[in-house]
Amino acid sequence: MPNDARTRAVAAAVTRTRTSLRDDIDRLRLDAGWSIAHLARVSGVDPAYVHRILRGDVGASFETYARLAVALGADLSGRVYPNTGPALRDRAQAPMLELALHDRHPRWQPFLEVAVRRPSRGWIDAVLHEPREAVAVASEIQSELRRLEHLIRWQAMKADALPSWEGWDRLGEAPAISRLLIVRRTRATRQVASEYARQLRVAYPAHPDDALEALVGTAAWPGPALVWVTLDARGARWATGR
């Protein structure tokens, strides 16, 4: 890799990492109901500096991010992984995304790892655009259902921020924005879904089978939906029903 390209790649990696850390810390702060001043007081970091970090004005040291994370009762970790394919979080998510891309009807145009900037910053795993129906489906892939209320809220916030994506204008006339949550079906995720069934049905009211019919065929998109994927030695497969 030429030096200029390497320099740009390093700068982009640093920016992505700092953005992710900042967004994670701010989400945890909001979940805890803490003000920035309170987070600064508990972590021992200067309040003005915390403001600048969370606004994205400065990139803090790893130690400072660790102090903020520990104050919020969270763990801080770093990873180095091969940069091949979409930047998914774990090995379970890649085959789940591959299934969705393979089985989608050609009418759906996919965009992967979509960056949104305002009012919320983050990455959407995939956006599926249907031009004739004029709908863009912000899709997230999850192998676990931890912090369910946070997951639901954060997906909705990122979907609402989709017009800030730099590729938004390529979609033509502004489409309606919807959401799709693709979840690995395991004993643990099914237990969470059973315990919080009402919350999930409010957040994702469309029936999974209707969403799958729209994804792989020509049925109209039914609205926000959660669909299940079974993943085992035979590969990834759709699981029907709620």
Other beta carbons within 10 Å of 87: 12
What mean pLDDT comes out for the span 87-95?
Answer: 70
pLDDT for residue 85 is more than 60:
no
Coil/strand/helix, residue 186:
coil
Mean pLDDT over all residues of the chain? 88
Other beta carbons within 10 Å of 231: 19
pLDDT tier, 1 (very low <50, low <70, confident <90, very high otherwise): very low
pLDDT digits (tens, 9 = 90+) for 229-242: 999 888 899 998 77
Q: Give the H or E element holding residue 228.
A: strand 225-232
Structure tokens at 42: 């508990």
Sequence spans of domains, the chain: 3-71, 93-239
Kindly give the pairing relationship between strand 109-116 and strand 122-130. antiparallel
**Nearest to residue 111, comparing CAs of 119, 100, 120, 96?**
100
CATH number, domain 3-71: 1.10.260.40
Q: Residue with structure tokens 């920035």?
A: 36
